[in-house]
Amino acid sequence: MTIHREGYPTIAIVTLFLGLGNTASYYFLSASYGVVFISILLISVLFWGFILSFFRVPSRIHTQSENSIIAPADGEVVVIEEVEPDEYFNDRRIQVSIFMSPFNVHVNRNPISGTVVYSTYHPGKYLVAWHPKSSTENERHSVVYQKNGREILVKQIAGALARRIVNYLQPGQTVQQNAEMGFIKFGSRVDLLLPLDAVIKVKIGDRPLGGVTEIATW
């Protein structure tokens, strides 16, 4: 396991503040209020561990398949439905949505190999990520991949806590399946918009692993 580069500034700031806070707690509380000092120290260690865990990149054997669409994120499948897209596409699509809690791995990966033909950031609201309107009203970044004349769209969607979406892709870029597409901080959601003839391999409540779990075939 490694720590993602997006986490370095946050980890450094958290470490500095926790270090200063616990140093002050030691000098002012340890002698007379030992229980309070120990409590603050334990809470600080747990919080620091959570921050490290949030930015973790676990070692995995990624799934490589020409005909498969692989999960772009860890989390829980919360939506599988036919929808009318709000951007790029003019035809109906199957939407598969993966909700990412603060405890999931937050690296986002390319679900297929291909060419990036669309990559656009949309400012918006910060509704909770499982809200039905979060796909169209929240801050988000949309990417369309094209492969053999067929296209899929992936949305990185901010949630109530997620206030920073990072996306590394530009139109015209050729990408490999499971390479990093971006990162979302502190709880969020990723939507996939797939062709209607895609064969869905997951169901509501499933917990896919990014870069590993097959979401659909086409």
pLDDT in tens, 16-43: 999 999 999 888 887 788 888 899 999 9
**Fold classification of 68-217 (topology level):** Glucose Permease (Domain IIA) (2.70.70)
pLDDT of 45-70, one tens digit each?
Answer: 999 998 898 889 999 999 999 999 99
H, E, C per residue of 35-69: HHHHHHHHHHHHHHHHHHHHCEECCCCCCCCCCEE
Domain spans, the chain = 2-57, 68-217
**Is position 188 annotated as part of the catalytic site?**
yes
Tell me how many degrees the CA angle 139-133-95 measures, rounded to the nearest 5.
95
| Alpha helix stretches (DSSP H) within 57-127 | none
Side chain identity, residue 9: P
pTM, whole model, 2 decimals? Answer: 0.85
Task: Report, as an integer, the average pLDDT of 146-150.
Answer: 94
Residue 163: its pLDDT value, please? 58
Residue 119: its pLDDT value, please? 97
Residue 126: its pLDDT value, please? 60
Mean pLDDT for the chain?
90
pLDDT of 157-216, one tens digit each?
Answer: 986 665 578 899 999 999 999 999 999 876 688 999 999 999 999 999 999 999 999 999
